[in-house]
Amino acid sequence: MNRIDRLTGMILLLQSHRVITAEQIAAHYELSVRTVYRDLAALGEAGVPIVAEAGVGYSLMRGYHMPPVMFTEHEAAALFMSGEVTEQVADDSLRDSLRSALLKVRSVLPKERHEPLTRLKQTVGVWLSRSRPEDQQRALMPLQQAVANKRCVSLRYNAGGRGEVTARTVEPLGMMYYAREWHLIAHCRLRKDFRDFRLDRVVDWAVLPDTFTGHEDFCVRTFLAEVINNHELTPVTVVFARAVMDRVRREMPCGGASEETLPDGRVRIEMLLWSQDWLTGWVLGFGRHAEVLHPPELRQHLRNLALQVAESHA
Peptide bond just before 295 cis, omega within 30 deg:
yes
Of 198, 226, 254, which closes a domain?
A: 226
Residues 147 and 212 in one domain: yes
Q: Examine the domain organization and report whether 150 and 194 are in the same domain.
A: yes
Asked whether residue 103 is domain-assigned, the answer is: yes
Residues 220 and 240 in one domain: no
Domain count, the chain: 4
Q: How far apart are alpha carbons 258 and 50 in whole angstroms?
A: 52
What's the confidence (pLDDT) of residue 134? 44
First-residue to last-residue Cα distance in the chain: 66
Cα 150 versus chain centre, distance = 20
Residue 130 lies in a domain: no
CATH number, residue 239: 3.30.70
Claim to verify: residue 222 and residue 148 sit in the same structural domain: yes
User: Are residues 159 and 190 both part of a single domain?
Assistant: yes
Find the domain containing 116 and state its range.
75-123
Regarding whether 210 and 170 lie in a shared domain, the answer is: yes
- Kindly tell me if the per-residue pLDDT of 174 is higher than 50: yes
What per-residue confidence (pLDDT) applies to 36? 93
**Does residue 172 fall inside a structural domain?**
yes
| Pairwise CA distance, residues 304 & 307, whole Å | 5
User: Using an 8 Å Cβ cutoff, are 262 and 238 in contact?
Assistant: no
Q: How many whole angstroms separate alpha carbon 272 and alpha carbon 255?
A: 9
Write the CATH number for 170.
Answer: 2.30.30
Here the CATH number for the domain that contains residue 12 is 1.10.10.10
Residue 191 and residue 241 in one domain: no
Q: Can you name the residues that pair with 172 across neighbouring β-strands?
A: 186
In this model, does residue 104 exceed pLDDT 80?
no
Whole-angstrom distance, CA of residue 8 vs CA of residue 69: 10
What is the pLDDT at residue 131?
Answer: 47
Summarize pLDDT for 192-245 with one digit per residue, the tens.
999 989 888 898 899 999 999 999 889 888 887 777 666 656 788 999 999 999
Name the more confident of 143 and 132.
143
67 within a domain of the structure (yes/no): no
Q: Residue 256's pLDDT is what?
A: 61
- The answer to whether residue 180 is domain-embedded is yes
pTM of the model as a whole: 0.54
133 falls within a domain: no
Asked if residue 10 is part of any domain, the answer here is yes
Specify if 134 maps to a domain. no
